[in-house]
């Protein structure tokens, strides 16, 4: 059942040759789709595409893969792992009807979790294109995806954070300083994760060892990660490094993943290796993935798909490996993919929505580069919207300024303020630790403490000698 | 403890630690200092390079101004492909060489980087390369690194050295990078280039950059290769290929780079 799609409005007929053209034209305007030459060429055509998309039966996404089954292992993963029983409740619906069902009060956390294995990335990408930003927030907020290693992430009423104390020279003292600064704000309950300046096994092991010593010294119930290539992590495990989580950047096509130097088999091997260490105390989610719209196009591996649809396919890759954490690095890629704050904010909400509907424990690096039309005020906005959408975790950097990767994210202040503003708490194990360390007040908030306060002096004094 | 614990943190890193708190937010001074750093970076991205001033600094050397196919800054940011190509008819204005080496000064993503450092690096490098035939210096606006491939082809240059403004960070808005390419031709992969990055006031000096660049030029002419092959021949692994900055997303060598 191939063939085009038509949409008629006030006498004008818009024709869309195939499903991927329809999806691309239905996407909100963004620079990456224009760069790829797949975007709608007028505002009316964009909405006409949405009208046609609303009529498409969900089944069609199972019958008509956007990238051929034979030539792409991500397509094979998506179709082979599709759960028909989970899909049954919505099997007769169109994309437009699915949006209405997702919005309905009937679609609660339990039903959405049961549906997740029955949805494909293409279905959730399609429905996201019919949703306004408010819809994306309201629907995602109903999804609950909980994961565990040493802390529990994704529980209702909680907002976790990745502490990201990067340093351009991987200097252990500088990284310790950034880590201690974050711990004083209650950051790091999702992970303490470093992007290494040098991706080699020795550097990776050195940083893993240093982070593990710091964690053990203060008995912090969290996990650490050095965001090296997956092959580096496998080697580090073989050499006996104290590795909690395996990290990898992933994308939504086999070719884009090849650009990252990974295959599904390699990811499975890495997961196996990390599981063999049995380092998780309360759970065994051992993988950490990062994604982001534009990654496939930048590797010329997008197969003519719009960047949001191909991004959603990366979440099918992620969920196959039961990750502890996944986040989109939404504004990092630059203005040729997401030009300004409007595009970055929309993409952040789409990525979170699609991942959560697919059952992926989604967080976000709310961020921008200096050549994008965005500033810290826009990050304040996106962080608040994502927190309202019950995002699992946000990334926090000292002073919002990553001095290694040269871009801006959220600061420790920003994430702490969101917790206080919205009444969200850290992961329960981590919250109890903060209380033991004297870093929480009676109301569960992190109070401003002077540098000579015993809790501060103890943490910094002992931590700096680690 | 004699010291305030926060002082100790500040001494341990250049990162913005121990900024203090006003309730749950930043103190005013820290808030405004961050805004100023971002403002300088934004001005560097959107600034227009004073190429006349650079031509003056380079005198008596001959200079030639060219433009990329990107008509303005907004198009330049949205369409990297346009910044990599010469505008129509520009190639015909270039002398057809042949030259051993052509310097191309490209605005890239930081006008400040180009204005502050580019002429110094050209002059210092040239002084270290006696005996080579060096072409006129090409001043390219709305240009990315790969524009050097078009220019080098038109000028029959054996080597092109593209000096380009790097994407500004908050700590340095005027960082210059240099990309050296042997036998430039349209469509060349970035892995065929060598890069010297972080040329700015608190980074690599113009003289040190010129030392590295002159070594790369002579070595590239001697062994007939740039890119990975030349990197491996470099002493102390001091020379990078075209991935100067680690990235969150581990792109392959054709992925987005810092200068882009």
Average pLDDT, chain A: 96
Position B249 scores a pLDDT of 43
Nearest residue on chain B to A36, judged by CA atoms? B79
Residue of B5, B15, B16 with shortest CB distance to A460: B5
Nearest residue on chain A to B247, judged by CA atoms? A405
Give the separation between CA B108 and CA B44, rounded to whole angstroms: 10
pLDDT tens for B26-50 read 999 999 999 999 999 999 999 999 9
C-alpha to C-alpha distances, B187 to A337, B184, B190, nearest whole angstrom? 21, 9, 9
Q: Checking phi first, is residue A252 left (phi over 0); if not, alpha (psi -120 to 50) or beta?
A: alpha
Those residues with Cβ within 8 angstroms of residue A109's Cβ, 6 or more apart along the chain or in another chain: A142, A143, A144
First CA to last CA across chain A, in angstroms? 64
Q: Is B18 on the interface with A (CB under 8 A)?
A: yes
**A261 to chain B: which residues are within 8 Å by CB?**
250, 252
pLDDT tens for A349-384 read 999 999 999 999 999 999 999 999 999 999 999 999
C-alpha to C-alpha distances, B155 to A190, B148, B152, nearest whole angstrom? 55, 10, 5
Position A361 scores a pLDDT of 98
Nearest residue on chain A to B2, judged by CA atoms? A452
3-state secondary structure (DSSP) of residue A344? helix
Q: Is B34 on the interface with A (CB under 8 A)?
A: yes
Residue of B18, B77, B249 with shortest CB distance to A249: B249
Tell me whether residues A413 and B80 touch, CB distance under 8 A.
Answer: no
Position B260 scores a pLDDT of 42
Tell me whether residues B13 and A174 touch, CB distance under 8 A.
Answer: yes
Q: Is B35 on the interface with A (CB under 8 A)?
A: yes
Task: Count residue pairs from A and B with Cβ separation < 8 A.
Answer: 186
3-state secondary structure (DSSP) of residue B225? coil
Tell me whether residues A300 and B24 touch, CB distance under 8 A.
Answer: no
Q: Is the four-CA dihedral B113, B115, B118, B124 of positive or negative sign?
A: negative
Residue A320: exposed, middle, or buried by beta-carbon count in 10 A (0-12, 13-18, 19+)?
A: middle
Report, as ranges of residue numbers, the positions in chain B whose pLDDT lies below 70: 1-3, 232-260
Which strand (E) or helix (H) includes residue B186?
none
- Among B113, B200, B203, B246, most A C-beta atoms within 10 A, so best to mutate, is B246
Distance between alpha carbon A405 and the CA centroid of its chain, in Å? 18
Give the separation between CA A112 and CA B69, rounded to whole angstroms: 49
Q: Is the four-CA dihedral A136, A445, A414, A312 of positive or negative sign?
A: negative
Give the separation between CA B161 and CA B179, rounded to whole angstroms: 6
Those residues with Cβ within 8 angstroms of residue A229's Cβ, 6 or more apart along the chain or in another chain: A199, A248, A261, B250
3-state secondary structure (DSSP) of residue B139? strand
Tell me whether residues A408 and B170 touch, CB distance under 8 A.
Answer: yes
Q: DSSP string spanning A191-240?
A: EEEE--SS-SHHHHHHHHHHHHHHHHHHT-S--EEE---HHHHHHHHHTT
Q: Is B24 on the interface with A (CB under 8 A)?
A: yes
Give the separation between CA A169 and CA A178, rounded to whole angstroms: 13
Position A466 scores a pLDDT of 57
CB B210 within 8 A of CB B196: no
What percentage of chain A has pLDDT greater than the value 90?
A: 93
Position B2 scores a pLDDT of 45
By DSSP bridging, strand B137-141 and strand B157-165 are unpaired
Residue A345: exposed, middle, or buried by beta-carbon count in 10 A (0-12, 13-18, 19+)?
A: buried
**B81 to chain A: which residues are within 8 Å by CB?**
35
**B109 to chain A: which residues are within 8 Å by CB?**
371
Tell me whether residues B24 and A420 touch, CB distance under 8 A.
Answer: yes
Position A230 scores a pLDDT of 96
Report, as ranges of residue numbers, the positions in chain A whose pLDDT lies below 50: 1
Tokens 């019958």 identify what position?
A63
Give the separation between CA B11 and CA A110, rounded to whole angstroms: 50
Q: Is B6 on the interface with A (CB under 8 A)?
A: yes
In angstroms, the separation between the Cα of residue A107 and the nearest Cα of chain B is: 35
- Among A185, A290, A379, A399, most B C-beta atoms within 10 A, so best to mutate, is A399
Position B107 scores a pLDDT of 97
Backbone angles phi, psi at A212, to 5 degrees: -70, -40
Residue of A229, A399, A461 with shortest CB distance to B34: A399
Q: Any idea what DSSP says for residue A415?
A: H
- In the numeric block, which tokens belong to residue A377? 């005020």
Q: Is the four-CA dihedral A362, A368, A369, A373 of positive or negative sign?
A: positive
3-state secondary structure (DSSP) of residue A288? strand
Q: What's the residue count for chain A?
A: 466
Residue of A34, A290, A448 with shortest CB distance to B21: A448
Give the separation between CA A334 and CA B163, rounded to whole angstroms: 21
Position A463 scores a pLDDT of 85
Ordered alpha helix ranges (H), B89-146? 111-113, 119-127
Checking ipTM against 0.90, whether it exceeds it is yes
Nearest residue on chain B to A250, judged by CA atoms? B249
């Amino acid at each position: 059942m191939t063939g085009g799609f038509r949409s008629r409005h006030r006498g004008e007929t818009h024709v869309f040759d195939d499903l991927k053209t329809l999806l691309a034209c239905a996407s909100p305007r963004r620079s990456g789709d224009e760069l790829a030459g797949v975007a709608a060429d007028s505002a009316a055509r964009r909405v006409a595409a949405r009208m046609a998309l609303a009529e498409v039966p969900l089944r069609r996404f199972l019958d008509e893969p956007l990238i051929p089954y034979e030539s792409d292992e991500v397509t094979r993963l998506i179709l082979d792992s599709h759960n028909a029983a989970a899909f049954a409740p919505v099997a007769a619906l169109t994309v437009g009807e699915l949006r209405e069902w997702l919005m309905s009060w009937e679609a609660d956390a339990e039903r959405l979790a049961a549906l997740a294995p029955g949805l494909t990335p293409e279905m959730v990408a399609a429905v996201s294109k019919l949703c306004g930003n408010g819809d994306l927030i309201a629907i995602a907020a109903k999804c609950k995806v909980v994961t565990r290693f040493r802390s529990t992430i994704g529980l209702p009423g909680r907002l976790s954070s990745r502490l990201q104390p990067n340093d351009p020279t991987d200097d252990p003292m500088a990284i310790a300083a950034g880590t201690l600064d974050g711990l004083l704000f209650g950051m790091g309950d999702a992970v303490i994760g470093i992007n290494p300046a040098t991706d080699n096994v020795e550097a990776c092991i050195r940083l893993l060892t240093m982070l593990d010593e710091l964690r053990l010294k203060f008995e912090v119930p969290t996990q650490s990660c050095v965001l090296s290539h997956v092959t580096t992590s496998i080697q580090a495990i073989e050499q006996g490094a104290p590795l909690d989580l395996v990290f990898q950047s992933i994308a939504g096509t086999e070719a884009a993943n090849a650009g990252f130097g990974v295959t599904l088999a390699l990811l499975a091997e890495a997961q196996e290796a990390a599981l063999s260490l049995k380092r998780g105390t309360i759970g065994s989610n051992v993988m950490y993935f990062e994604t982001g719209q534009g990654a496939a196009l930048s590797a010329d591996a997008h197969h003519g798909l719009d960047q949001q649809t191909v991004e959603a396919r990366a979440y099918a890759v992620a969920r196959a490996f039961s990750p502890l954490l996944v986040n989109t690095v939404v504004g990092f890629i630059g203005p040729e993919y997401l030009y300004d704050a409007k595009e970055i904010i929309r993409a952040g909400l789409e990525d979170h929505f699609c991942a959560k509907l697919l059952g992926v424990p989604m967080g976000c690096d709310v961020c921008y580069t200096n050549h994008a039309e965005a500033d810290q005020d826009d990050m304040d906005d996106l962080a608040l919207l994502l927190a309202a959408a019950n995002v699992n975790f946000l990334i926090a950097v000292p002073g919002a300024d990553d001095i290694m990767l040269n871009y801006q994210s959220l600061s420790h202040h920003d994430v702490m303020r969101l917790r206080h503003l919205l009444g969200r708490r850290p992961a329960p194990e981590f919250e109890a630790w903060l209380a033991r360390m004297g870093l929480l007040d009676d109301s569960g908030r992190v109070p401003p403490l002077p540098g000579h306060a015993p809790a501060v002096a103890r943490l910094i004094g002992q931590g700096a000698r680690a | 403890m004699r010291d305030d614990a926060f002082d100790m943190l500040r001494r341990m890193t250049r990162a913005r630690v121990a900024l203090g708190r006003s309730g749950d937010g930043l103190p005013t001074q820290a808030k405004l200092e961050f805004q100023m750093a971002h403002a300088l970076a934004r001005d560097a991205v959107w600034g227009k390079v004073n190429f006349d001033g650079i031509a003056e600094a380079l005198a008596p050397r001959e200079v030639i101004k060219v433009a990329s196919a990107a008509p303005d800054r907004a198009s330049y940011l949205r369409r990297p492909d346009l910044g990599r190509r010469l505008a129509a008819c520009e190639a015909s204005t270039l002398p057809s060489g042949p030259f051993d080496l052509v310097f191309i000064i490209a605005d890239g993503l930081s006008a400040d980087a180009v204005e502050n450092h580019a002429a110094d690096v050209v002059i210092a490098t040239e002084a270290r390369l006696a005996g080579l035939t060096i072409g006129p210096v090409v001043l390219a606006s709305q240009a990315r690194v790969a524009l050097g491939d078009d220019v080098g082809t038109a000028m029959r240059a054996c080597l092109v050295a593209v000096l380009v403004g790097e994407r500004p960070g908050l700590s340095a808005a005027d960082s210059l990078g240099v990309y050296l390419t042997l036998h430039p031709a349209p469509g060349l992969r970035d892995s065929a280039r060598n890069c010297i990055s972080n040329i700015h006031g608190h980074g690599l000096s113009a003289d040190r950059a010129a030392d590295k660049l002159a070594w790369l030029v002579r070595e590239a002419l001697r062994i007939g290769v740039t890119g990975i092959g030349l990197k491996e021949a470099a002493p102390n692994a001091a020379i990078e290929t075209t991935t100067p900055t680690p990235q969150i997303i581990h792109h392959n060598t054709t992925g987005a780079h810092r200068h882009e």
